[in-house]
Structure 1
C-alpha cells in the first residue's frame, strides 16, 4: 500500500497539445490551476516551448512555455525555435536529442524546462511542492514502435523532484474518476480519451456513491492515432504536394521519385521545428538541385528556415474546427513564398481519415475484449479530449453504443480533475500504471 502524510496533491495531465493541472487537499474538491497570460486565460497550458538567443540568459538561451511561448514566437518568429507536441517522442528510441541553436536537449531536459515554466506561471497555487503528484500517461504511446520502458525512464527523469511522490495513471482512468463524480448510480463506463498524440480507452465499473471503491478498471487499450494524425492527413493532401511530394529527382541518367522521409518529418509537429538544422537543410538544398521541380523543394526550405510551423499548425487547426461545425470550410496558408487556398468538404476530410478512424474502432474492440465485457454491457460512453469533438469520431460511438449513451464535457480538463481525485486516495496501488 502506498500512503502519504497530509498535504496538497496534484493531478497533472501532461498532454501532447495541452497540459492541465488540478490541485486539492486531502478532503477538498480539486480545483483547476489557472494561468493568466497573453492570448490565454484559464487552466489550459499549451504544451509548447520557445527558445531564443539571449546573452543575459543562462547558457545564452532563453526559454518560455505555454501561451507565453506562443507570444514570444509571434513577436520574433525567425529568431525563435518553437517546439510543439514534443511529448510525441517520449517513447521513441530513435529520438536522442533536439538541436536548438547550438545546444542539444534530451527529452527529460525539455520536459523539466516546460514544468519549471508551468509552475512559475501558475504562481501561488503551485508555490508549495505537492506531497503527491499523479501524472497521466497514455495507454499506448505515440510514434512508430513506441517503447514504454524508454518513456518511463524519461518521465521519471522529467518529473524527479516535482513532488514528494510521483505516480503514473492511465489518462482515461483519470477521466473516468472525473465523470464518476457526477454519476448518481452504478454503471459500466467506457472512457474514450482523444488527445493530440494518442487515443486511449478504458472500461471502468462505477459503483454507487459512497462505495468504498467507486471505480474498478476492467480493461484498457490504446493507439498512437489522434489529432496530430488527422493534421498529418490534411498536410499530406493540401500542403506537401506544393513542397515536392510525389515529384521526381535526377540520379545520373534516371528519374526517381523523391523519398518520403523529409515529407514525413515535415508533417509531424514534433519533428518539423527540428528540421531547422544544418544537416537537414544541406540535404534539402542538394535535393533542390537535382529535383525536377526545384522550386517546390525551395518552398519547403523557406517554410523551415522562416520557422512557420506554428502558423501552419494554426491554419490546420482552424480547418479542423470549421469542419466540425459545418459541411465545408476554406483552408488558407501563406508565408515564405508559399500560398495555399483550398475548399475542403467534411466528406473529403472524413475520407482522408477513414483509415485512422477504422484503426480507432479496432482499438475500442480490443478494450472491450481486455475488459471481458460485451458491447451491450456498456451503459455510458464518456468522450473526452479535443479530438473527441470530430464528428466522425462521435458518429463511430453513436453507431456502436447509441446516441443516448454518449456523454461529454470538460474535454480539456476532465483528466486533470480526475487525476487529482485519484491523488486523494489513501492507497495508490490499484491505480498505478
Structure 2
C-alpha cells in the first residue's frame, strides 16, 4: 500500500496563508507550503528537485573586499567539493545543534572563519527565501521537524539543541516557531487515510541513520493533536542506529567495484612465504565519501604509485592510479549508489566503469548486494525489534510498518524489517519527502490554513 499527502494535481500555494513547514534534515531538507483546500505542495528547492542536500560550501577564493565568503548550497555545494574547488564543505549541520560547537568558529579558507551557528542560520535563510519566492509573500510562521531526541540520554543538551534551532529560525525572520516530531510527521499522511486508531512503527532509513518510532495515530488523536502541538505522548518509543544508506553504498562499492582496482587481491608470492593481501586502507578511503579527497594528496599519490610492483595484476594498479590521478573517487561512489538503486528496482545492476578502462563493467546481483550489507541489515532489524521491546509492545500488536527515507527502496531491507512484525500492513510514504509533507499538514492544523 502506497500513499503520500501530496495532492493529485499541482495546486498553487495558498496566497493568504503566510506559513511554511521545513524538514531540516541531516542529509537532505525539504519545504512544504499549503496548497488547495487541505493539501500541501513541496517547494522546488533546486531545478526539478523537491529536496536539497543539507550542505553549504564556502568558497575560499572569494575576493577579500567581499564581506562574506561566497556560498553554494545543496547539490552545487557538493559538486564544488567533488570538483576540488578551494573551500570548505559543511554537512550534517543538524548534529551541531546539541553540541558545544554551535557557538564556536571554524576556518573556511581564504583567511576567513564562520561560526557554526551562522552555518545553520544561513542554510535556513536559504530555505526560507526559496519558499517565499514560490509563495509570493513573506512567511513568518513555521513548523520545523525535530527528532524525538536531538541528543540521546541527555535531556539538558537535547533541550539546548531544540532551543538553538528555534533561535536560528527566529534569526532568519520567523516570528512564530512550532515543532513537530519527525516520526509523527511521517505518520500524519497515513493517519489522514484511516478511520480507527492504529499502532504504527515508523521506519525512517536515511543516509546516515536508521530511526524507528512506535506511535499511535487515528482520527481522535488527530483531533486532539490540534490542541497538543507536538503529540509527544503519542510516541511510545524511539530507537535507532547510525547505519543506513551511505554504509550500504560503501559495502556495495567494496564488493562490486573496488576488487577491479585490487581490493582484497594478493601480492605476488615470495619464495617461502604465503601470498599476502594488498593494503586495504586506500580502498576503504575511496569507499568513504568524506575521505575520498584525502587519497588525492600528493604524498599519498606518490606512495600508491610506488606500490606498482606489489600488484600481481598490472591492470588493477593501473585502474587504481587512473582513479587517483583523474580524481574519479566520487564518480565510483556515485556508481555504487546507483547500483544499489538499480538492484532495488530491478534485482540486478550492470555497473559501467568505462571511465576507468574501455569496456570495463561490473555486475551486482540482489543476493550479492544483500550479502554485502548483511551485518548492517541485522543491526537495523534488531533496532526495529528493540523499539517495540522498549515500548512494551508485542511485535504481533503492531498494525502498520510505515517506511520512509531514501534507503527504503532496498527490498531486502524492507522485507527483513517487515518480517519482524507479521501482522502489520506495509505502507510506503514518499521516500524523500514524507516528513515535509506531514509537517505541512500539521502546519495547516496549527495555523488554521
- Assess if the C-alpha contact under 8 Å between 1:15 and 1:47 holds in 2: yes
Report 1:391-402 matches (<5 A): 391-402=411-422
1:318 paired with 2:329, answer no
Aligned residues of 1:288 and 1:295 also touching (Cα < 8 A): no
Provide the residue aligned with 1:220 in structure 2: 238
Residue 23 of structure 1 corresponds to 33
- Residue 344 of structure 1 corresponds to which residue in structure 2? 364
Q: Kindly state the Cα deviation for residue 414 of structure 1 after the two structures are TM-superposed.
A: 1.1
Structure 2 match to 1:379: 399
Pairing 1:201–2:212 present: yes
Deviations 1:331-375 (A, max 9, x none): 124547799621111110000111111111110111101222111
Q: CA RMSD in A?
A: 4.7
Local SS of the residue matching 2:331: helix
Structure with the bigger RCO (C-alpha within 8 Å, sep 6+) is: 1
TM-score (norm 2): 0.72
Contact 1:45 1:118 survives alignment (8 Å): no
User: Aligned equivalents of 2:37 and 2:351: distance in 1?
Assistant: 46
170-179 or 296-305, larger mean C-alpha shift: 296-305
Q: Secondary structure at the match of 1:41?
A: coil
Equivalent pair of 1:12/1:22 in contact (CA under 8 Å)? yes
- For residues 232 and 103 of structure 1, the distance between their equivalents in structure 2, rounded to whole angstroms, comes to 33
- The C-alpha deviation readout for 1:307-333, integer Å capped at 9, x for no partner, is 545533432232112101223211124
Instruction: Evaluate the alpha carbon distance shift between residue 15 and residue 323 of structure 1 in structure 2; reply closer, same or farther with a 3 A threshold.
Output: same
Aligned match for 1:118, one of 117, 123, 127: 127
State how far apart, in whole Å, the 2-side matches of 1:287 and 1:155 are: 48
Contact 1:9-1:420 within 8 A present in 2 as well: no
Residue deviations 1:242-264 (CA, integer Å, cap 9, x gap): 55655799xxxx99977766544
CA–CA separation in structure 2 for the residues paired with 1:28 and 1:147: 39
3-state DSSP of counterpart to 1:311: helix
- In 1, the alpha carbon distance for the partners of 2:389 and 2:305 equals 50
- Match of 1:212, SS? helix
* CA distance, structure 2, for counterparts of residue 106 and residue 242 of structure 1: 43
Among 22, 26, 46, which residue is 1:12 paired with?
A: 22
Contact 1:17–1:84 at 8 Å: present in 2 too?
no
Contact conserved, 1:384 with 1:410, CA < 8 A, in 2?
A: yes
Looking at CA atoms only, which structure, 1 or 2, has the larger radius of gyration? 2
TM-score by length of 1: 0.74
1:322–1:287: structure 2 CA closer, same or farther, 3 Å change rule?
Answer: closer
Does residue 186 in structure 1 map to residue 186 in structure 2? Answer: no
- Cα deviation per residue 1:49-84 (whole Å; 9 max; x = unaligned)? 4555655584685332234547x659x935476958
Partner of residue 70, structure 2: 62
Alignment of 1:148-163 (within 5 A): 149=157, 153=161, 156=164, 159-160=168-169, 161-162=171-172, 163=174
Structure with more strand by fraction: 1
Residues 140 and 198, structure 1, Cα contact 8 Å, conserved in 2: no
Shift of 1:108: 4.6
Q: 8 Å contact 2:292–2:330 — kept in the other structure?
A: no
Aligned to 2:187: 176
Distance in 1, matches of 2:245 and 2:22, equals: 20
Q: Which ranges in structure 2 are unaligned for 5 or more consecutive residues?
A: 1-15, 268-272
Is contact 2:186-2:404 (8 Å) kept? yes
* Number of aligned residues: 408
